[in-house]
Amino acid sequence: MKIAYRWLLRYLPLGQKGWPSTLNAEEIARILTSVGLEVEQLSSFSSIPGGLEGLVVGEVEAVWKHPQADKLQLTRVHIGNGQSLQIVCGAPNVAVGQKVVVALPGTTLHPVEGEPFQLKKTKIRGEQSEGMLCAADEIGLGTDHSGILVLDPSAEPGAPLTRYIEVFHDQVFEIGLTPNRMDAMSHLGVARDLCAYINHHYQFRGALQWPDTAAFPETGLDPSPIRIQIEDPDACLRYAGLLIEHVQIGPSPAWLQAALTSIGVKPINNVVDITNFVLHECGQPLHAFNADAIAGHEVRIRKARSGEHLLTLDGKDRVLHPEDLMICDAREPMCIAGVLGGTHSGIQDDTRHIFLESAVFHPRFIRQTSLRLGLRTEAALRFEKGVDITRVPYALKRAALLIQELAGGQIRYQPVDVYPTPQNQPEVRLRKTYLTALSGKTYPDKQVEPLLQDLGFGLVSSNDQEWVWQVPPFKHDVRQAADLVEEIMRIDGLDQIPIPAQITITPAHHALHVRENLRDSLSSFLVAQGFREIYTNSISRSQLYTVYPETQVVHLLNHLNAALDVLRPSMLENGLECVAYNQHHRNEPIAFFEFGKTYHPDGEKGYREREFLAIWLAGNLHPIWWAEPETPPKAYGWFFMKGVAENLLQLSGIHRFQFRPASGHPRLKPLMEIIAPEKPVGMLGAVDAETCAALDLQPPVYYVALEWEKLVEARTQHQITYQEIIPYPVVRRDISFLIDKQTPYARIEEILQNSQAPYLKAWNLMDVFESEKLDPGKKSCTISLFFQHPDRTLTDEDVEQSLQRIVQHLGNQLQIILRK
């Protein structure tokens, strides 16, 4: 949100009741940030880019033809103080005696089109040029490039151009507004916090300066010829309107255009600009209708009917939904309430009578229509968060007086204000001991009461124990005592909370729940292996999941962003976007993990969530090293990822598991299913080439997804056992054998596990060898076997008996052939 500095100063009691006569922008930025309105940027603004700096008035003394160019002329221009310059000019309208705009060498010009550039003294076709005679478009004053800009004959040579052309300068605060602070979505709202802060910290009693509407005629007005009928009072909470006659549509005055432009609002015409000005001044959206286009002199606020449509101001013919709240005349819709107006009732250059609307609509109806149509207008943003319903008449009168002043409008008729169910403001009870306990500071009554009153709260009652405060209608986020404490603390300053020299506490230890304990263990392991945890959004883009059946994807009905429209059915894609981003920025190697949920339709049950631990790997495990420059970088591989998955399973208490080849995933090829011991607990795969190309990934990229609930279940059932370290030596034996190429290593491990060979402690695959010299369809495997006895040193005979049993089992079940 943008707030203009000079615009903001209008509403502060500067120079009154001890207040300073002015406040600099840097001090205001500091104060706003301290009260929760974080100023993310403070920038300068000029109504004309560059502010016409360096441009002066010149008088053309002589003009003659350029000797080396047919379309160029040489001029001698007087710029004051007896100084004249020779300037080459190509404009056809240059003539002796003209007062012109001169850009001196060193001046930076800001043309309407193109980038700014600095003017230098130069030679053009061999003739010296000591400046430039400027056209309107070359200095940001318009689009005319037919010739140089000719000034009034009374202009004084050598005077700065800013003496004759007014330039508005300002500074603009870019505020990162949090969603709960709708009360600060205006200049007066920001000024309220600023005023409260200065009153509290400097002991002033200045009041917020609301623009005066006393000039609005309260008597002697005729009844309005336009009737207002609210057909849906649940959706339209209040609606006020005023007929204003004999307006003259035209450009707004320069000050109004500059104010709007400074905060990024494009000026349109005086009436529309006034409604935008009042919106950003006090936070109340307004809309102006062409009164002559209101059929039947009747305004109806109702829901859209089936088949109705409206051509909106953005030029789109929009089909309306039965839940859309509409502003209609006696025949047809004129405006989508609180969102966008229609063209046929909009303000045109020939409009002479306008009907000015000031209303409050229920946030839910505005939000759902705005999201469905993808229209995030300034009015919709305020209505969907809630506006001050008591300010509806004020904003109407404020805008009417400005239209009377700037557009010649005549106020002849009474305003019509329909308020079906007046709202009562809630009251909040705040105990003084609660304020002290929650804030950590003792606040005297003489500080609390004026502070909250400056923020708009009304004191209902007070005694030694508590206050009762009435919440103002613009504070929709204040509903309980803790909210009042927050208001006091943010104005007083969180840095004002005293920190004691000593803090006495009784340490307490609470064992982590199994779920949290396991998450901590697995996270610590992954971080120690070089992984980094990421957090991605559960709400994602449907374009990422077109490879999945529609029955597996949960679509959002009211998504906040047109691109974020589904709940992710898989963890894979969001992480791949992070991988691609980091690859593009050369942040390698890439090793990410995330604990997250996926979402799926579930028939009659509606929807179900599944939680996963997901891991992504890409890039080089070992980059180029100076000590071994000839060794190429080693990339993360399939077996590294498999080892990580195995370690995670073992840390979770799963010690018996298998990796089985699988298929069917639309993005992972090859794919392994992880079975432990009989049920699937996850998957391991490599992202296929098609997906890598679509997401601009550099392969290979590996992915593991482990089902979190099954890991937690295993950890819950796992019993840790302890035993003494065996002091007797381990005996190793290596065996090599031929086996069918199609036999997976997991099958060998399964047989070794079930062999019940005495003293067998562990095993390890050392080598796999394939060659044309071997039997067709065979491969050679070498496995190291490790034997150990808990009570004594093993003899060769012990080891040999156990080894023969293992060979026998492998031979019987896998038909291995021992190699000598």
Which token pair is 796?
């060769």
Angle among Cα 257, 259, 262 to the nearest 5 degrees reads 105
Is residue 245 annotated as involved in ligand binding?
no
Clarify whether residues 328 and 434 are in a common domain. no
pLDDT value for 485: 96
pLDDT value for 185: 95
Is residue 740 annotated as involved in ligand binding?
no
Clarify whether residues 774 and 813 are in a common domain. yes
Q: Mind listing the pLDDT tens digit for each residue in 743-756?
A: 888 888 888 988 88
Which token pair is 382?
């305020």
In a domain, 525, yes or no: yes
pLDDT value for 631: 61
In a domain, 645, yes or no: yes
CB 805 within 8 A of CB 820: no
Residue 498 has pLDDT above 90, yes or no: no
Q: Which of 227, 385, 373 is nearest to 295 (CA)?
A: 227
Residue 806 sits in a domain whose CATH number is 3.30.70.380
In a domain, 504, yes or no: no
Q: Mind listing the pLDDT tens digit for each residue in 36-80?
A: 999 999 999 988 888 898 899 999 999 999 988 888 999 999 999
Instruction: Return the DSSP state at 504.
Output: -
Return the top range by mean pLDDT from 352-356, 510-514, 749-753: 352-356
State the DSSP H helix or E strand holding residue 193, giving kind and residue range, or none if neither.
Answer: helix 187-202
Residue 635 has pLDDT above 70, yes or no: no
The predicted model gives 288-309 an average pLDDT of: 94
pLDDT value for 506: 75
Clarify whether residues 557 and 609 are in a common domain. yes
> For helices 514-528 and 708-717, what crossing angle results, to 10°?
110
In a domain, 214, yes or no: no
pLDDT value for 276: 97
**Domain count across the chain:** 6
Which token pair is 713?
């279940």
- pTM for the predicted model, two decimal places: 0.67
Clarify whether residues 408 and 541 are in a common domain. no
Residue 622 has pLDDT above 70, yes or no: no
Q: Mind listing the pLDDT tens digit for each residue in 542-573?
A: 999 999 998 889 998 877 777 899 999 999 99
Residue ending a domain, choose from 688, 717, 746 = 717
Is residue 588 annotated as involved in ligand binding?
no
Q: Which of 808, 744, 742, 811 is nearest to 777 (CA)?
A: 742
pLDDT value for 724: 87
Residue whose tokens read 């300002």: 170
| Banded model confidence at residue 632, pLDDT cuts 50, 70, 90 | low
CB 398 within 8 A of CB 280: no
Task: For 376-397, give the secondary structure using H, E and C.
Answer: CCHHHHHHCCCCCHHHHHHHHH
Residue ending a domain, choose from 379, 395, 418 = 418
User: What integer best gives the mean pLDDT of the chain?
Assistant: 91
Residue 246 sits in a domain whose CATH number is 3.50.40.10
> For helices 445-454 and 481-492, what crossing angle results, to 10°?
90
pLDDT value for 624: 67
CB 605 within 8 A of CB 636: no
pLDDT value for 589: 85
pLDDT value for 486: 96
| Banded model confidence at residue 633, pLDDT cuts 50, 70, 90 | low
Clarify whether residues 242 and 180 are in a common domain. no
Which residues constitute the domain of residue 173?
2-47+169-202
Q: What are the DSSP E strand ranges found in 572-679?
A: 590-601, 607-618, 620-622, 634-635, 658-662, 668-675
Residue 116 sits in a domain whose CATH number is 2.40.50.140
Q: Mind listing the pLDDT tens digit for each residue in 83-141?
A: 999 999 989 999 999 999 999 999 999 998 888 999 988 889 888 999 999 999 999 88
d(CA 401, CA 379): 21
Contacts of 443 (CB under 8 A, 6+ apart): 435, 436, 488, 492
Q: Mind listing the pLDDT tens digit for each residue in 787-805?
A: 999 999 999 999 999 999 9
pLDDT value for 500: 80
Clarify whether residues 383 and 448 are in a common domain. no
Clarify whether residues 53 and 142 are in a common domain. yes
Kindly list the distances between the CA atom of residue 818 and the CA atoms of 735, 736, 742, 783, 808, in Å, as whole numbers in the listed order.
8, 6, 18, 12, 11
Q: Which of 722, 721, 709 is nearest to 514 (CA)?
A: 709
DSSP 507-554: ----PPPHHHHHHHHHHHHHHHTT-EE----SEE-GGGGTTS-GGG-E
The predicted model gives 294-317 an average pLDDT of: 93
Clarify whether residues 122 and 174 are in a common domain. no
Tell me the residue type at 103.
A
In a domain, 608, yes or no: yes
Angle among Cα 744, 746, 751 to the nearest 5 degrees reads 110
Residue 251 has pLDDT above 90, yes or no: yes
In a domain, 765, yes or no: yes
pLDDT value for 511: 58
In a domain, 652, yes or no: yes
pLDDT value for 71: 86
d(CA 164, CA 155): 8
In a domain, 686, yes or no: yes
The predicted model gives 362-377 an average pLDDT of: 92
Residue ending a domain, choose from 145, 163, 181 = 163
Count of other CB atoms within 10 angstroms of residue 639: 9
Clarify whether residues 774 and 709 are in a common domain. no
Percent share of the chain, pLDDT over 90 = 72
| Banded model confidence at residue 182, pLDDT cuts 50, 70, 90 | very high
Is residue 628 annotated as involved in ligand binding?
no
Residue 519 sits in a domain whose CATH number is 3.30.930.10
Clarify whether residues 631 and 746 are in a common domain. no
The predicted model gives 200-221 an average pLDDT of: 92
| Banded model confidence at residue 634, pLDDT cuts 50, 70, 90 | low
Clarify whether residues 684 and 739 are in a common domain. no
d(CA 285, CA 388): 10
Q: Which of 59-68, 223-232, 678-687, 748-757 has the lowest mean pLDDT?
A: 748-757
Q: What are the DSSP E strand ranges found in 11-97?
A: 38-46, 55-65, 73-78, 84-89
Q: Mind listing the pLDDT tens digit for each residue in 137-177?
A: 999 888 888 899 999 999 999 999 999 988 899 999 999 99
Clarify whether residues 175 and 140 are in a common domain. no
DSSP 439-476: HSS---HHHHHHHHHHTT-EEEEE-SSEEEEEPPTT-T
